[in-house]
Amino acid sequence: MVFKKNVLIVLLFITISYMLVFLWKHDSGFTNSLEGIIYFILPLLSIISLHQSWYRSKDNVKLTLLSKQQEQELAISEQRYRSLFQYHTDAVFSLGLDGNIIDANTKFLSMTELNETKLRDFKFSTVIPPMSMAKVLRNFIAAKKGKSQYYEIAIKDWNGNHKYLSVTYIPIFAEDKVNGVFGIAKDLTQLKETEKKINHLAYHDPLTGLPNRRYFESLLDQAIAEAEVNNKMLAVLFLDLDHFKIINDTLGHSTGDDLLVAVGQRLSQSLANDHITARHGGDEFILLLKSIDHIEQVINNAEKVLGNLQQPFLINNHRVSVTPSIGISIYPEDANNSQTLMKHADKAMYRVKYQGKNHYSIYKPLSDGKALRKVAISKDIHTVLEDNQLEVHYQPQICTTTGLIYGVEALVRWNHPGLGLISPAEFIPLAEATGVIFALNDWVLDKACADLKKWHEQGYFIYMAVNVSPQQFYSEESLSEKVNKTLDKYQVSSNYLVIEITEAIAINNMDIAINKLIELQGLGVQIALDDFGTGYSSLSYLTQLPIDTIKIAREVIDDIGSRSASKAILSAVVTMANDLNLKIVLEGVEKEEQLRQLMHFRSHYMQGYYFSRPIPKSEMDLLLDEWSGSRLLKVLAL
């Protein structure tokens, strides 16, 4: 363009120069000369023509450039559209007004597992369930009328897999008319599965997969409404596992969790399909028996559950035994709403706990006195130490060869200001459940060592047996250190302290138990295995555990006069214990006839009501002063 402009300037310069030369040669001027006019006009016209041609050329170039620019912009716009369509993260497709697919992006093909060949023959009816076709058509028709639509739908892909989609229809306008519909489908399958899981967790126990308490209450409300309409009964069974905390403490929480899962499965298998098993929390389960016609049906189910749970479980290569306490309430006899039914079943379960566990009981209203007692015990257990309401009573252990008091067993009692002396059977389970048991055990150990020191100072060098709870044995990492500090505090020789453990402590985690017992024996403390013969007994334990004494349970002693099997068992245990140089204590000696028969066994010590009930220290002081062993000596003389 610059070149052409320069050419015009040069031509104009040449023309003017030419005219000047002409005028110089012709003095007469050029105005009257035809030759001058020609010489002047022709170059000028050439210049004008050339100038116009130049501008026309310039306009054509502009038009050409504009056309190329528009084409380029159109190509870029189409590329953007294709990129948005083809590479969109969601499935995008275009539909004709007849509803057939015209085009679809890669995501749509992968989502439906189609290829371009199959796409031509694709029909929505192949993936959309018949019940959902009306929804799809309704939204498509609305989009053809120019209104964007959104809906969710479940489809099946070519392999029959279910997918959840959200679909958006966008009308395509051309010249103010709809000539097609864009569809955008988002895969909600994973989101729906997540929502399903969240919903399941909201209403189910994450460990066992059973309905949780919240869901159970809603199901119970529905069942009550149905029972009322159908004039039927229903029952709620509240179930608590006995001594579950011992299993947790001895075998670990992982094994405890696996046991809970196994219990939940066994409970579900014990009931018919229309009944419901739920986990209430912790080691508590709750069952719903629906459409009951007779109370015998409830009892049959309770006995079936009881029997199934009494069968041992194999958990992580451990043979674990657990028993349930079951409380039962019945609609409409005991209550007509879910909250009260569950409350009454819970009360009935606690009655089973107090009466020995491992059974079931149907709810019966407690008398006002019993109800007030239960409330008072539950309320005051947290302040029993602060209010100085605990006492230690001592039961003597008698040497079978000398008839003298060999030692005493420390037994805690709760002297409640309003209720009087409360048996450990009533408050120890509650202390274990609330965590009070740790401070309670520490207090008993301290008090027993303090009293033992006083007796030694008075010249009574007796032994002191103190019980250790399973929770303290396994949860107290520094148990041996605590025992040692208490002995140092009162300057009591460790040889006179006997730590009593139960069989359940010993067998549920043998390795940990042995290590802890060895630590205690390292202090010089003696170890006694208490309640031997109550369910877990195995003579092999006597050879594996580092113990000094075994205490034969009163359940074995009670049958000694009526069952020959009990005599045989006792004889075998005593013989083996003597061969292993273990001391033997026979518990629960209450009658003279028992004593006569037990004297034939080579046991070392006895204790029981025949000699003395557990008594406060003041009475024990008098007994030590006055004891002559006359009752035992009388038998020895026979």
CATH of the domain at 570: 3.20.20.450
Question: What average pLDDT does range 50-76 have in this prediction?
Answer: 64
Residue 198 placed within a domain: no
DSSP string computed for 385-400: TTTT-EEEEEEEEEET
**What pLDDT is recorded for position 558?**
74
CB 166 within 8 A of CB 185: yes
Residue 146 placed within a domain: yes
Q: How many whole angstroms separate alpha carbon 500 and alpha carbon 523?
A: 15
* Whether residues 344 and 475 fall in one domain: no
Phi, psi torsion values for 524, nearest 5 degrees: 100, 0
* Domain housing 63: 2-82
DSSP letter, residue 271: S
* pLDDT for residue 1 is more than 60: no
Residue 376 placed within a domain: no
Phi, psi torsion values for 18, nearest 5 degrees: -60, -45
User: 151: exposed, middle or buried (C-beta count within 10 Å: 0-12, 13-18, 19+)?
Assistant: middle
How many CB atoms are closer than 10 A to CB 125? 10
Task: Give the residue from 317, 337, 369 where a domain finishes.
Answer: 369
CB 208 within 8 A of CB 261: yes
Instruction: Kindly report the average pLDDT of the chain as a whole number.
Output: 82
* Whether residues 398 and 280 fall in one domain: no
* Whether residues 98 and 215 fall in one domain: no
- pLDDT tens string 528-578: 988 887 655 556 667 778 999 999 888 777 766 666 666 777 887 888 888
How many CB atoms are closer than 10 A to CB 57? 12
Phi, psi torsion values for 110, nearest 5 degrees: -70, -35
Residue 199 placed within a domain: no
* pLDDT for residue 54 is more than 60: no
- pLDDT tens string 349-399: 888 887 778 899 998 875 445 666 776 777 788 888 888 999 999 999 999
Task: Give the residue from 61, 82, 103 where a domain finishes.
Answer: 82
* Whether residues 595 and 534 fall in one domain: yes
Residue 141 placed within a domain: yes
For residue 269, what are the contacts with CB-CB under 8 A and spacing of at least 6?
308
Distances in Å between the Cα of 211 and the Cα atoms of 244, 275, 288 are 21, 12, 11
Band (pLDDT 50/70/90 cuts) for residue 56 is: low
**What pLDDT is recorded for position 382?**
83
Residue 375 placed within a domain: no
SS (H, E, C) 535-590: CCCCHHHHHHCCCCEEEECHHHHHCCCCCHHHHHHHHHHHHHHHHCCCEEEECCCC
How many CB atoms are closer than 10 A to CB 295? 14
* Domains held by the chain: number: 4
CB 471 within 8 A of CB 440: no
**What pLDDT is recorded for position 539?**
65
Residue 284 placed within a domain: yes
* Whether residues 601 and 526 fall in one domain: yes
Q: How many whole angstroms separate alpha carbon 262 and alpha carbon 208?
A: 8
Q: Where are the beta strands (DSSP E) in 61-118?
A: 91-95, 101-104
* Whether residues 54 and 118 fall in one domain: no
Structure token digits, residue 41 = 């006009």
> Mean pLDDT highest for which of 180-189, 449-458, 528-537?
449-458
* Whether residues 454 and 511 fall in one domain: yes
* Whether residues 33 and 169 fall in one domain: no
Q: What pTM does this model have?
A: 0.50
* pLDDT for residue 82 is more than 90: no
Residue 379 placed within a domain: no
Task: Give the residue from 57, 82, 107 where a domain finishes.
Answer: 82
CB 597 within 8 A of CB 635: no
* Whether residues 145 and 221 fall in one domain: no
Residues forming a β-bridge with 288: 236, 276
Question: What average pLDDT does range 593-598 have in this prediction?
Answer: 83
Rg (CA), the chain: 49
* Whether residues 420 and 544 fall in one domain: yes
**What pLDDT is recorded for position 14?**
60
Please report, for the domain that includes residue 179, its CATH number. Answer: 3.30.450.20
CB 467 within 8 A of CB 500: yes
- pLDDT tens string 512-525: 888 889 999 999 99
SS3 609: coil
* Whether residues 396 and 293 fall in one domain: no
Please report, for the domain that includes residue 283, its CATH number. Answer: 3.30.70.270
Structure token digits, residue 547 = 């113990």
Distances in Å between the Cα of 387 and the Cα atoms of 72, 204, 417, 432, 474 are 94, 42, 10, 19, 28
Q: How many whole angstroms separate alpha carbon 89 and alpha carbon 187?
A: 10
Q: Which residue has the tokens 């035994």?
A: 321
CB 350 within 8 A of CB 284: no
**What pLDDT is recorded for position 411?**
95
* Whether residues 270 and 419 fall in one domain: no
Residues forming a β-bridge with 314: 319
